Structure 1
Amino acid sequence: MAAVTPTVRQLLRSHYRELTLSERKFANALVQDYPNAGLASITAAAERAGVSAPVVARMVQKLGFKGYPQFHQALLQELQAKVSGPTERRAVWATEAPESHMLNRFAGAVTQNLTQTFANVDTAQFDAAARLLASDAGVYIVGGRITRSLAEYAFTHFQAIREGVTHLTSSPATWPHYVLDMEDGDALLIFDMRRYEENLLRLAEIASERRVRVILVTDQWASPVAGLAEATFHCWGEIPSAWDSNIATLSLVEALIAATQEERWPEARERFEQLDSLFEMTRLFRRP
């Protein structure tokens, strides 16, 4: 199976140290308004960033593109991928799928997604997010139409590790009730994948106005919520299906759960022991 093509955003990150100050100025402008800042002509894009067209041309070549047209096309393809639905996704796989069993193709895609996801995690950002989730600040968790199951999974584990964790319901009409209790410094963990949801963006905006610290788990193209988040984790999910996979996303979440648990140990251990005692009292689980 062909290697996963990195996004322009990821190329900027990996090559950033090689860029000159002027090239970094354009790179920063592109990241701040991604991908729109790169969809104009090279002259217009350069003017908006306050640099010259030759600066832009040199930068895109350092990213591995032959020229600005190829760079521009890559951004357009990413934009198309962001808005594609299940039918369009399946069509891509149907035309490109090799003649091998679905299980092999699926396993290869999932393995690549996991590798790509964890290779692009900023470890400093990951550690900071784990410390925030382990702190005494309140933690609020919310997901979208598909990702609400991930939000519930995260809530179940974080709530076992620490107190003060709240899972927002799937109904946006109830969200103002939760926002009412959010305080300066609290954390809002948001799951938002492509076909991004306007309700989640608006929630992030309102929460940010209350100085709530947003942690975003999204795909490789990035939800608009990324513009408000202090920590953003990109998870690759393309598979030979009409749907995206959440395996890499779930793995990233489990890594955050494990790191948060370690940050709060031994308090978390005491909480686990109390939970076990309560489970024993309720006889919820079968004895071995």
Structure 2
Amino acid sequence: MTISDKILAARDKMTPSERQLIGFLLDDYPIAGLGSITELAAKASVSTTTITRMLQKVGVEGYAQFQVALRGELKEMISDPIAKRDMWKTDLPEEHILNRYSRQVLENQKRTLDDIDPDEFDSLCDLVCDANRTVFVAGGRITSTLAQYLYLHLQMIRPNVRLLPMTASWPHDLLDIKKGDILIVLDVRRYENTTLAMGQMCYEQGAEVILFTDQWRSPIHNIAKLTFSSRIAAPSAWDSMASILVLLECAIARAQEQLWDTVEARTDALEAAFDRTKLFRKFV
């Protein structure tokens, strides 16, 4: 577990001053905890005793250990592919890649799903199914493929779904965003400036921001109405997106059932268009 995972798991045991400290830490995590204990106390408007007490409740022995853990997490957050591979390669057992890689990916999926709050997931689906809201979908250099996948399915499920392009023209699309619309944004380490700018601009225009990210959490989480963190580390130079894909497919399946009458009508119209264009091969 990351330090933020431990903090969130112990939140219910915290006093009001400790929760104030937690809020400050998580708003700029992990950077907020990298200064001295007196600097953190002053910025969070709490005592150093409050910091020590909070750390004890989350199972961290002291402030020095806390900072060592934060620096380790920061290193992972900004790791490039070569650094990721170096981190894994010394610990890899001698077994086939099918076993080694798939076991970690399945464990990622299990831990991701175990950490999801069902009520928050239901809130996501209710927002997506609200026909009065336009849904904008955006991703980064790698996650744009997942954004495209989600967009195509949501477009079949309901009207008014827009995909923000990975080109310089994306600000044009935000001219149409209005208060109450939704931005679903995907952003994983190393966290891209473009996706952050998208999130900030949509938030400033009154949109509800929904973030799919990793266990370290994109800075976008500070403005997100809902944040879904997935485990993505795998024995490879590149992260695994499988856990995020599972969550997206769960949301697609729920939205499809919730809006089935609309889905059925739109699917009939889409199939008629496919027949006219002869997109799919006919065997009879």
TM-score for the superposition, normalised by structure 2: 0.95
Alpha-carbon distance, 1:44 to partner: 2.0
Counterpart AA for 2:89: A
The equivalent of 1:85 in structure 2 is 80
1:5-37: per-residue Cα shift (whole Å, max 9, x none)? x11111111111112222222112111221122
Structure 2 residue 279 is the aligned partner of structure 1 residue 279: no
Q: Which residue is equivalent to 2:197?
A: 202
- Distance (whole Å) between structure 2 residues aligned to residue 259 and residue 14 of structure 1: 27
| Residue 166 of structure 2: aligned partner | 170
User: Which of 143, 151, 159 is matched with 1:155 structurally?
Assistant: 151
- What's the CA shift for 1:191? 1.1
Alignment match of 1:180 (pick from 175, 178, 196): 175
For 1:158, give the aligned amino acid: L
* Secondary structure, aligned partner of 1:96: coil
What residue is the counterpart of 1:232 in the other structure? 227
Q: Please tell me the residue identity of whatever aligns with 1:156.
A: L
What amino acid does structure 1 have at the position aligned with 2:231? W
Q: Which residue of 1 aligns with 2:29?
A: 34
Q: What SS does the aligned partner of 2:90 have?
A: helix
Deviation at 1:69, TM superposition (A): 1.5
Distance 2:7 2:119 in 1: 18
Q: Which amino acid aligns with 2:52?
A: A
Q: Answer whether contact 2:185 2:211 (CA < 8 A) is retained.
A: yes
Which has the higher mean CA deviation after the structures are superposed, 266-275 or 11-20? 266-275
Match of 1:96 in 2: 91
Choose the corresponding residue for 2:140, options 141, 144, 163.
Answer: 144
**Partner Cα separation in structure 1 for residue 211 and residue 18 of structure 2:** 28
The equivalent of 1:3 in structure 2 is none
Distance in 1 (alpha carbons) for counterparts of 2:281 and 2:57: 60
Structure 2 counterpart of 1:108: 103
Q: In the alignment, residue 23 of structure 1 is paired with which amino acid?
A: E
Q: Deviations over 1:31-81 (max 9, x none)?
A: 122112211222221222122212211211211112221121111111111
Whether 1:246 aligns to 2:250 is no
Shift, 1:265, TM fit: 2.4
How is 1:5-24 mapped onto 2 (pairs within 5 angstroms)? 6-24=1-19
CA shift at 1:250, angstroms?
A: 0.7
Deviating 4+ runs (over 4 angstroms): none
SS at match of 1:266: helix
Q: Show structure 2 runs of 5+ residues with no match.
A: none
Could you give the per-residue CA deviations for residues 167-190 of structure 1, whole angstroms, max 9, x where no partner exists?
12110x101210111111111111
Judge conservation of contact 2:28–2:219 (CA < 8 Å) in 1: no
Give CA deviations for 1:150-173 in whole Å, capped at 9, x if unaligned.
1110111000001111112110x1
Query: Does the Cα contact within 8 Å between 2:140 and 2:186 map onto a contact in 1?
Result: yes
Deviation of the 1:255 alpha carbon: 1.0
Query: Which letter does structure 2 place at the counterpart of 1:117?
Result: T
Aligned partner of 1:194: which letter? R
Residue identity in the other structure for 1:123: P
Q: Aligned with 1:226: secondary structure?
A: helix
Paired residues, number: 282
Equivalent-residue separation in structure 2 for 1:227 and 1:130 (angstroms) = 21
Q: Alpha carbon RMSD of aligned pairs, Å?
A: 1.4
Task: Supply the distance in 1 between the matched residues of 2:181 and 2:87 (Cα, whole angstroms).
Answer: 41
1:123 CA displacement: 2.0
Distance 1:95 1:263 in 2: 47
TM-score normalised by structure 1 residue count? 0.93
What aligned pairs does 1:249-264 form with structure 2 within 5 A after superposition?
249-264=244-259
